[in-house]
């Protein structure tokens, strides 16, 4: 009796090689024409996916991509290899690329100077290994948020700085670039920009210490912009564009990336004068 023919659709040891050579009665030309169409479609899908994944935003806030839980921070890294960068307004600064994922806690408590609006309590942490004093940074952040040109001017919100460990609805972090990427995931910060992610306001230490080209050597006003922009996201504000040549850039414009035809502006409630 002749050996039985293999059952239709059954894949044996030749399954993988079947992807690369014609099988069955179809002519060789027809087979390769079909495979060319399939490979072409796969290549197109992959190219579109690469473009979508690589499109991020900055403060800089980042554009989310659908991977995992947005609140997932991942496991901390312990590398402390520093990146020596030319500072804006400083002679030079050593900004570690990665930190231990542990933090120094600010202990300051500062009440808002206005009684208008919803009270929002927040605390401040600075990653270990950074040349940033937590209480000094926290006082600076509160001074920005409590300024009459900041979000309190809307009379909708007011901010209260609380010591770490007390009740707070927002948590501000100043952290190394790699820790920024972890705390901001699934937003793409690429070690360069900052973000707001859930109840976290994550300020990239590279930007905190070095500023951005759009602000030149004016590190004071860049930090004001950075704080107002990222806390603005926590208030539900979204990115906007330059309103016109010569106008002040809105604080929710991505001024870290550039100003376009606008003038730099760190405040939500700034006069055009």
Full-model pTM = 0.70
187-213 burial, b for 16+ CB within 10 Å, e for fewer?
Answer: bbbeebbbbbbeebbbbbbbbbbbbbe
State the Cα–Cα distance between residues 91 and 75, nearest whole angstrom. Answer: 34
Phi, psi of 82 (to 5 degrees): -85, 150
| Tens-level pLDDT at each residue, the chain (273 residues) | 444 443 333 323 233 333 333 334 444 444 444 444 444 544 554 444 433 333 333 465 554 433 322 333 333 333 333 433 344 444 445 799 999 999 999 999 999 999 999 999 999 999 999 999 999 999 999 999 999 999 999 999 999 999 999 999 999 999 999 999 999 999 999 999 999 999 999 999 999 999 999 999 999 999 999 999 999 999 999 999 999 999 999 999 999 999 999 999 999 998 765
Task: Indicate the SS3 state at residue 40.
Answer: helix
């Amino acid at each position: 009796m002749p050996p039985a023919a293999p059952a239709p659709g059954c894949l044996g040891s030749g399954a993988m090689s079947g992807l690369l050579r014609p099988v069955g009665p179809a002519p060789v030309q027809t087979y390769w024409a079909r495979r060319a169409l399939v490979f072409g479609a796969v290549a197109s899908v992959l190219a579109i996916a690469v473009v979508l994944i690589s499109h991020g935003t900055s403060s800089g806030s980042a554009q989310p991509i659908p991977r995992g839980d947005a609140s997932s921070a991942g496991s901390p890294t312990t590398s402390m290899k520093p990146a020596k960068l030319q500072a804006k307004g400083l002679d030079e600064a050593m900004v570690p690329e990665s930190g231990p994922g542990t933090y120094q806690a600010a202990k300051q408590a500062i009440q808002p100077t206005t009684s208008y609006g919803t009270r929002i309590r927040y605390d401040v942490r600075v990653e270990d290994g950074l040349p940033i004093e937590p209480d000094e940074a926290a006082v600076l952040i509160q001074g920005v948020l409590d300024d009459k040109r900041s979000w309190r001017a809307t009379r909708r919100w007011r901010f209260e700085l609380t010591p770490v460990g007390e009740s707070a609805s927002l948590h501000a972090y100043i952290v190394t670039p790699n820790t920024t990427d972890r705390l901001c995931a699934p937003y793409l910060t690429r070690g360069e920009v900052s973000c707001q992610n859930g109840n976290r306001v994550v300020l990239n230490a590279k930007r905190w210490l070095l500023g951005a080209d759009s602000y030149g050597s004016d590190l004071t006003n860049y930090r004001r912009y950075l704080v107002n922009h990222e806390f603005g996201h926590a208030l539900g504000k979204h990115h906007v564009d330059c309103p016109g040549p010569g106008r002040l850039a809105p604080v929710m414009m991505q001024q870290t990336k550039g100003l376009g035809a606008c003038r730099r502006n760190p405040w939500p409630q700034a006069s055009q004068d």
